């Protein structure tokens, strides 16, 4: 599905439960090993937030409560197997993590790690995702 001149994806931004200091969980990409958030393509018949939650489960083994409204959007260029890239717009949904399952489909393909917000913002490469992470306290208060 295309949004403007970009291909649309949905992502979960995994967050620690409210009773803790606010942290986020990042995963590594399968290709380059850089820190990213779980994301994927739209699935016909599923609402965007459900797709985002599904990606978090498949890519990081996460279960929790996902927001039904996006908390932001960022853009990036997805690298394809042939070396070309595809411009993508990613709608981001907050996922309050209850637990990480002991096993999940992509466990052997990725690493996961909890980060403090500032450290997590520094770890990701996309400037708009960095800004979204740093603005989380005010976005979540809305």
Domain extents in the chain: 2-141
Whether this prediction's pTM lies above 0.85 is answered by yes
What's the pLDDT at 83?
84
Q: What's the pLDDT tens digit per position in 35-51?
A: 999 999 999 999 999 99
Q: What is the 3-state secondary structure (H, E, C) of the chain?
A: CEECCEEEEEEEEEECCCCCCCEEEEEECCCCCCEECCEECCCCCCCHHHHHHHHHHHHHCEEEEECCCCCEEEEEEEECCCCCEEEEEEEEEEEEEEEECCCCCCHHHCCEEEEEHHHHHHHECCHHHHHHHHCHHHHHHC
Q: Which residue has the higher pLDDT, 142 or 102?
A: 102
Second CATH level (architecture) for the domain 2-141: Alpha-Beta Complex (3.90)
């Amino acid at each position: 599905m295309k949004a403007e001149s970009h291909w649309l994806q949905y992502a979960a931004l995994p967050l620690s439960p409210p009773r803790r200091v606010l942290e986020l969980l990042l995963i590594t990409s399968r290709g380059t090993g850089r820190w990213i958030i779980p994301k994927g393509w739209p699935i016909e018949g599923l609402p965007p937030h459900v797709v985002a939650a599904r990606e978090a489960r498949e890519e990081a083994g996460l279960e929790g409560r996902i927001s039904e409204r996006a908390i932001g959007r960022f853009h990036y260029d997805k690298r394809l197997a042939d070396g070309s890239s595809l411009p993508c717009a990613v709608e981001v949904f907050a996922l309050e993590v209850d637990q990480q399952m002991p096993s999940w489909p992509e466990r052997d393909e990725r690493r996961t790690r909890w980060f403090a917000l500032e450290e997590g913002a520094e770890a990701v490469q996309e400037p708009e995702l960095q800004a979204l992470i740093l603005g989380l306290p005010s976005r979540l208060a809305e």
